[in-house]
Amino acid sequence: MDETVKPRRTRIQREKRELILEAALEVFSQHGFRGATIDQIAEAAGMSKPNLLYYFKSKETIFVTLIGRLMQAWLAPLREMDAEGDPATEIRSYIRRKIEMARDFPRESRLFANEILQGAPHILPLLEGELKELVDEKAKIIREWMRRGRLKKADPYHFIFAIWATTQHYADFDAQVRAVLGPDRGGEGRFEDAAAFLESLFLA
């Protein structure tokens, strides 16, 4: 038997890992990496610290696993941008997906924002590698659309950055958004309103 091949996890092991990751997401999104402790994560998961450490050897291992998953989810909508598609449709779809993620995954967004604010110590290689390569690829597509007159000319990198900034605002600053909009406009409809406005802003 090849000793380099890791044995497959049992269903119970997979379930325990998911339980830990869910608890860790809640703790990290509230306290950040530095403020979170293994004891807090174990308590949130409803298990002992030794039991938790059986599945993950350290707080950093848990954090890196979460961030890795998050990055893949975050990059998925950008990967779907199709050079052969209609630019307006592709941009509109991307904005919609990003707004949906802001609505459905606010804890993940805060986790990512906290990591970036700390200088991205755990994911800098990913940002400089996989993320940069993907953005370079999509920037070329956007630049070509602009060259053909199908989008207004602008810097494609800052175009992408602006979509990131405006869509993630609705996750990272949700309390502020709801407070300013007030009870009449601060409900679930705020995400649809945001998507419609941003589509108009970026496609005008």
Domain co-membership, 126 together with 199 = yes
CATH number at residue 36: 1.10.10.60
Residue 68: which pLDDT band, with cuts at 50, 70 and 90?
confident
Domain co-membership, 111 together with 81 = yes
CATH number at residue 72: 1.10.357.10
pLDDT tens per residue, range 8-20: 778 888 899 999 9
pLDDT tens per residue, range 80-104: 999 999 999 999 999 999 999 999 9
Domain co-membership, 30 together with 123 = no
Domain co-membership, 47 together with 85 = no
Domain co-membership, 188 together with 98 = yes
Q: Terminal CA-to-CA distance of the chain, rounded, Å?
A: 61
pLDDT tens per residue, range 128-171: 999 999 999 999 999 999 999 999 999 999 999 999 999 999 99
Domain co-membership, 43 together with 119 = no
Residue 4: which pLDDT band, with cuts at 50, 70 and 90?
very low
Those residues whose C-beta lies under 8 Å from the C-beta of residue 38, and which sit 6 or more positions away, are 49, 52, 53, 58, 59
Domain co-membership, 97 together with 42 = no
Domain boundary among 21, 38, 57: 57
Domain co-membership, 136 together with 111 = yes
pTM more than 0.95 = no
How many domains in the chain?
A: 2
Residue 2: which pLDDT band, with cuts at 50, 70 and 90?
very low
CA atoms within 13 A on the CB side of 49: 6
Domain co-membership, 24 together with 100 = no
Domain co-membership, 38 together with 20 = yes
Domain co-membership, 107 together with 185 = yes
Rounded mean pLDDT, 162-187 = 94
Host domain of residue 4:
1-57
Domain co-membership, 91 together with 170 = yes
